[in-house]
Structure 1
Amino acid sequence: MSAAQTTIGLVYDFDQTLSPGYMTDDVVFPNYGISVEQFWKRSQALVDKEGYDNELAYLKTMLDLLTPDRPTNAELRALGPKLRLYPGLPEMFTELEALLGPDHRALGVRLEHYIISSGLRELLEGSVLRPHVKAVFGCEFAQDREGRISFPKRVIGHTTKTQFLFRINKGMLEPHEDVNDHMPSDMRPIPFQHMIYLGDGPTDVPCFTLMRRYGGNAIAVYSPGDNTRKSFRKCWQLSAHADRVKHIAPADYRAGSHLRLMLEEMISEIADGIVRRKRAEVDSSMVSAPGF
């Protein structure tokens, strides 16, 4: 028996995709008196001189600079409401529901939102976005006997983000579920063709590539307030030269913006396609009554 496959999955990076900055720079470092410049200089030195992976380097640097008074995960979560967001968020998550009409809902079409980030999961768990998303995937710390963050429990880098796209595709959202288990394509709750991925640059290339390979949708967003054009050029390179993503747009999630128009069109096309497929399945299964 095949899965219903009536869910549309919208998947987002966070830093510089849903937020104009980096979550740690915005809320963690100011709260604990850490210099942003010195933090990233020290983190980069671990990468350049000692061969650390980027994500492990920043997590180790954070632990080093927060010692001996490391926070608890609950204290990190309490910083989540302070995260900056681009215009139109979180309102967009509710507003997009209006795109699904009676025909869509009658056949079970629905939207689900997910965040996959190399940032800290606890900050996202405490953010105003959390009630609107089904699952959040991010780096996590274990806690010691005193409840303070200790060793990294989960690390998500730009290459491992694709694992979580497969988790969403297969409905295997829990860490103990083996995403490598075989699952026929018709049993997967959210086909890649029903996904839309939003990211901001080179760290999202593996996800952009996967979306392109399996027929999904992807948009690279850039900061409209970046007068240096560095943010725009990252997206331009990915689209015009590297052929990694087809669509780019300024990160403005308000109704009527270029990005919202593209998102709404993609959602509507996917939703209408699901309705057509479901109706065709019903028609093909019907057997006409014998005539007289």
Structure 2
Amino acid sequence: MAAPQNIIALVYDYDQTLSPNYMQDDVLFPRFGIDPAQFWRKCNALVHEQKWDGELAYMKCLLDYLGMDRVTNDMLADLGAGLSFFPGLPELFEDLPKAALRPEHELVGIKVEHYIISSGLKALLDGSRLKPYVKEIFGCEFGEDSEGLISFPKRVISHTTKTQFLFRINKGMLRYDQDVNDHMPAEQRPIPFENMVYVGDGPTDVPCFTVLNRNGGHGIAVYNPEDASGKSFQKCFQLCTHAGRVRHIAPADYREGSHLWLLLSQMVRETADRIMRRRIEERDNATIAAPTF
């Protein structure tokens, strides 16, 4: 029997997508007195001079800087409560599905779920105001030693490995003890790619945009309208106009009635209509008329 496939997944990057700030600049560096310029110089030296992967270099530098502070994942989660977001968040997570879905959609079980896939720290996002509204958050993680202190990278998510988590959402394999490479027929996957919308901000989101483009999903590139340098907009313009990675760009304003709200609402509504039409067609095709006299 085929899976219902009645879930619409809205999937978001975090840094520069849901927040105008990088999460470490927002709450981590100020709390521990870390100089951002010095920190990133050290990271870049590892990447360019010693050929480290960027995310591993970032996590190593964090461990080096935080080593004397006896930091735990619980402490990081507490810091996450101070993360700041673009206008309209976290309200959109609850309000947009109610506005976009009609009663007839809900009657047949269609619903919206939110997911975050980030190369930032999961612990910070787990402590944020977004957490109660999100089905699952995927991010980089630190393991802990025998004293409960962060000690080593436990999980690293790069821009290229983000696509793994689209497949986890697609197959409903959200736990790490589930092998996402296991074969699953398309009709058994709870959230087809065509039922997904991915929201990101730049080149690091290209692999996710590509997966959805090739499989009937939607992508939206967002930019910070307060960025006076124009670089945020230029990234999105390049993705849309020259690289063909996305069809839509919008300011990162999540308030009701904004361009982004309207795009997301329309995508959710049209996807819900398609699911409902398919459900009706399947019902009609399975119906055998009673004999007549």
Bin of the TM-score, shorter chain as denominator length: over 0.9
Q: What is the CA distance between 1:194 and its match in structure 2?
A: 0.2
Q: Is the 8 A contact 1:63 1:70 kept in 2?
A: no
1:205 and 1:70 mapped to 2: Cα distance?
37
Query: How do 1:1-292 residues align onto structure 2 when only pairs under 5 Å count?
Result: 1-98=1-98, 99-292=100-293
1:22 and 1:38 mapped to 2: Cα distance?
16
Q: What is the CA distance between 1:245 and its match in structure 2?
A: 1.0
Counterpart code for 1:290: P
Matched positions, count: 292
Runs of 4+ in 1 over 3 A off after TM superposition: none
| More displaced 10-residue stretch of structure 1: 112-121 or 62-71 | 62-71
Counterpart code for 2:219: A
Q: What is the CA distance between 1:106 and its match in structure 2?
A: 1.3
Structure 2: tracts of 5 or more residues without a match = none
Q: Deviation digits for residues 158-213 of structure 1, max 9, x if unmatched?
A: 00000000000000000111100110000000000000000000000100111111
Q: What is the CA distance between 1:70 and its match in structure 2?
A: 3.2
1:256 and 1:152 mapped to 2: Cα distance?
41
1:180 and 1:70 mapped to 2: Cα distance?
37
SS at match of 1:115: strand
SS at match of 1:117: strand
Q: Is the 8 A contact 2:15 2:120 kept in 1?
A: yes
Identical columns (%): 61
1:94 and 1:166 mapped to 2: Cα distance?
24
Q: Deviation digits for residues 220-245 of structure 1, max 9, x if unmatched?
A: 00001001100000000111101111
Question: TM-score when scaled to structure 1?
Answer: 0.99
Q: What is the CA distance between 1:97 and its match in structure 2?
A: 2.3
2:34 and 2:68 mapped to 1: Cα distance?
14
CA RMSD of aligned residues (A): 0.6
Counterpart code for 2:23: M
| More displaced 10-residue stretch of structure 1: 193-202 or 65-74 | 65-74
Q: What is the CA distance between 1:68 and its match in structure 2?
A: 2.3
Counterpart code for 1:17: T
2:97 and 2:236 mapped to 1: Cα distance?
28
Q: Deviation digits for residues 83-112 of structure 1, max 9, x if unmatched?
A: 010000011111112222221111110000
SS at match of 1:259: helix
Q: What is the CA distance between 1:31 and its match in structure 2?
A: 0.2
Counterpart code for 2:114: H
Q: What is the CA distance between 1:121 and its match in structure 2?
A: 0.1
Counterpart code for 2:20: P
SS at match of 1:68: helix
Q: Is the 8 A contact 2:11 2:197 kept in 1?
A: yes
Counterpart code for 2:105: H
Q: What is the CA distance between 1:285 and its match in structure 2?
A: 0.8
Q: What is the CA distance between 1:81 and its match in structure 2?
A: 1.2
SS at match of 1:119: strand
Q: Deviation digits for residues 134-161 of structure 1, max 9, x if unmatched?
A: 0000000000111110100000000000
Counterpart code for 2:127: G
1:289 and 1:149 mapped to 2: Cα distance?
67
Q: Deviation digits for residues 232-275 of structure 1, max 9, x if unmatched?
A: 00000111101111110000000111111100000000001111
1:103 and 1:165 mapped to 2: Cα distance?
28
Counterpart code for 2:281: A
Q: Is the 8 A contact 2:221 2:250 kept in 1?
A: yes
